[in-house]
Amino acid sequence: MRQWVSLSGDGAAVGFTYAASADKSSEVVREVVGQGGKALAIRADSAEVAAVQAAVEETVGTFGRLDILVNNAGIMVLATVDQFTVDDFDRMLAVNVRAPFFAIQAAAGYMRPGGRAITIGSVVADRSAFPGSSVYSLTKGAVAAMVRGLAVDLAPRGITVNNVQPGPTLTDMNPANGPHAEQIVKLLPAGRFGRDEEIAGMVAYLASTEAAFVTGSSLTIDGGYLA
């Protein structure tokens, strides 16, 4: 959720969704408000299109406008092809692909020229390095392709659509002392994991006026993982 704090620091009022982490969401709101910003936490399951659309409506109703959309909800289920279930396959597509499409559709209805839509993809769109990651890679590859098409759709309106592809990054799901951390770090020429503020910095750039000529792009930030 670091990107919300970063965008708030740049002057944006931020509305964000959460599925279950109410305590962490409240913490983000307190941090943003404590720095003089405005924040709105909305509980929503990104697997439900109606919930995504309602979150956009609530944000616009609260702040009066919508200039920047960041799609960062995502889930990852790892299983080899002989073990993957239909339910897990469908839910990953719903959260990782369908949700950002309909979020952008809903947000674009309110955006003016200069609007920004940003998705959070992954380097696994280009490199599946571990067994069991096929469906997750599929969803992130779909996001990268989708962004290119949506950028063409929305370019006449002056709205950019871009995709940030992080490499291995320190998160609650990927801690520095995780069971595979040592193996993963060996794949990174930079010799370390990425940090959330570094990903947030890329998002902030794409949301800025300086990035007005960047659209339909997938920008990788991975410490050399794909090099």
- Positions marked active-site: 136
Encoded tokens for 221? 């930030």
DSSP assignment of 70-128: EE---------TTT--HHHHHHHHIIIIIHHHHHHHHHHTTPPTT-EEEEE--GGGT--
Q: How many Å apart are CA 40 and CA 71, to the nearest integer?
A: 16
Using alpha carbons only, how large is the chain's radius of gyration in Å?
17
- Helix-helix angle 49-63:99-108, to 10 degrees: 30
